[in-house]
Amino acid sequence: MKKLLALFCMLTCLFGLTACGGEEGYTEFEQQKLDYAKQAAAQQFIPFLSQFADDVRAGAFDENTAEEIEYVLAQQSQLNVDGNAFKSAVSSFHSTMQEIGAITDVGEATAEFDGSTIVVNVDVTCEKGKATAEVILSNDIFLELESAALNKVSGIGELMGKAALNTLIGMGTVFIVLILISLIISAMGIIPKLQAKAEAKKKAALPAAPTPEIPAAAPAEPEVQESDDLELVAVIAAAIAASQGAQATDGFVVRSIRRAGKR
């Protein structure tokens, strides 16, 4: 039991030290400055900017320069602003109020130092939802408006819907890319066939080359077999000489040779 009590006391001290370490210590003057910044943001700047819900009021300062806006607001509304920052603030508040309606209630405000500025966040309620107004003031006695914006606070259902839509768009994009890649790969097999068909059509369209004419071969002239004729003459002369009883064929002369007809 004692060990459990000791452990509980140690945990309590540990959480206490952690909580103390997380808090920033401000001087009295700094705390007063933060309180005044929260009051100026919640009671002056936000109510003034909430007047620019309609288009006519939102365009009231379009034709004025930054210096003219600073002078007019300082003289008429006792607001210290940077002219260009005020124009941006009017545009932000106008666009958000067009979506969720005009501001109906201003809630709790928190403020912190950020270097040379004081950042004030205020919870506001609009006609169609909730939003957070961020007002940035200069860290000096003038608390000049350096920036302001009205940001819509999305509910859990809206956040889940946006997450689902983003997931659907991402998955759809991936599937579309995969389908395109598969089509490209399939087309790579068709392209050679198309090229072959195109080449075949080109060849078919070309005129046929003329066939060269080969000259007819001249009829071969019979070769005169002179050696055979001489042998035949010698045989005939020898036969005649034998029939005449002559010893030699010197006295015989063969004028012509004709083939005898066959019966």
Q: What is the pLDDT of residues 111-123, one digit of tens each?
A: 999 999 999 999 9
Contact 135, 45 (CB under 8 A): yes
Q: By the 8 A CB rule, do 80 and 145 touch? A: yes
Where are the chain's structural domains? 25-153, 155-189
Across residues 229-243, what is the average pLDDT?
74
Q: Which amino acid is at 173?
A: T
> Which CA distances in Å does 217 have to 168, 214, 220?
86, 9, 8
pLDDT tier at 15 (50, 70, 90 boundaries)? very low
Q: 9-23, 49-63, 170-184: which has the minimum mean pLDDT?
A: 9-23
pTM above 0.75, yes or no: no
**Contact in structure between 118 and 139 (CB atoms under 8 Å):** yes
Is the pLDDT score of 236 beyond 90?
no
Counted residue by residue, the chain has a size of: 263
pLDDT over 80 at 91, yes or no = yes
Judge contact between 24 and 110, C-beta under 8 A.
Answer: no
Sheet (strand 117-126) strand order: 103-114, 117-126, 129-138, 145-152
Phi and psi, residue 117, nearest 5°: -130, 165
Please determine, for residue 222, whether its predicted confidence score (pLDDT) is greater than 80.
no
Query: According to DSSP H, which parts of 23-108 are helical?
Result: 28-40, 46-49, 55-58, 66-76, 83-100
25-153 folds as: Nuclear Transport Factor 2; Chain: A, (3.10.450)
The continuous run of DSSP H or E covering 121 comes out as strand 117-126
pLDDT in tens, 123-151: 999 999 999 999 999 999 899 999 999 99
